[in-house]
Amino acid sequence: MSIPCESKPANLVIGCFTRDNEILADVARKLSEALGPVDMVSPWLAFEHTDYYTSEMGSPLFRRLMAFHELIQQDALADIKHFTNDLEGQFSTQGKRLVNIDPGYLLPERFVLATGKNYAHRIYLKEGIYADLTLIYHKGRFRPLDWTYPDYAGEAIRTFLGTVRLRYLYR
């Protein structure tokens, strides 16, 4: 018999991509005001794996990830996704987003993103939000799955998340 227990707190990681790099400072300020200070920031990464967002946001797009100092409860992810959706709305003009904000959490064994889109591998959380198992930690590194978004499957993001994982383990 499995015995229910409290979930471990997770490291909040938020990825943003935009065409306008200067907007990210305002987004990061609003995120840290609501969610606490940022511990680590990835370098700017080219967002080149899809043109899905080009009609809405233009191009070229660049991604940056932020790892937050305060740990979160895993079940807070849906509420954080609703907050970031509202924030995207604040940074929109004429119904088009200027920034895309993807919240997720990291634990030693996995990285999970929040999404409003259902799919076979996504687990419903609440209020229209699903958890997307994006990466698993196996044999000393984060590994992509068949459905992992190409940029999250890339070496740069997985290396950054590996560093966040190490900091999490040595808290």
Q: What is the mean pLDDT of residues 142-170?
A: 95
Percent of the chain residues topping a pLDDT of 90: 76
pLDDT at 124: 97
Residue 166's pLDDT is: 97
What pLDDT is stored for residue 52 in this prediction? 82
pLDDT for the residue 20: 87
pLDDT tens profile 42-64: 888 877 667 788 888 888 889 99
SS (H, E, C) the chain: CCCCCCCCCEEEEEEEEECCCCHHHHHHHHHHHHHCCEEEECCCEEECCCCCCHHHHCCCEEEEEEEEEEEECHHHHHHHHHHHHHHHHHCEECCEECEEEEEEEEECCEEEEEECCCCCCEEEEECCEEEEEEEEEECCEEEECCCCCHHHHCHHHHHHHHHHHHHHHCC
* Structural domains in the chain, sorted by start: 10-169 (3.30.70)
The pLDDT of residue 51 is 78
Share of the chain above pLDDT 70, in %: 99
The per-residue pLDDT for range 60-84, each reduced to its tens digit, is: 889 999 999 999 999 999 999 999 9
Q: What is d(CA 122, CA 133) in angstroms, rounded to the nearest whole number?
A: 7
Is the pLDDT confidence value at 163 over 80?
A: yes
Residue 129 has pLDDT above 90, yes or no: yes
User: How far is CA 134 from each of CA 17, 25, 57, 77, rounded to the nearest angstrom?
Assistant: 17, 26, 24, 14
The pLDDT score that the predictor gives to residue 70 is: 95
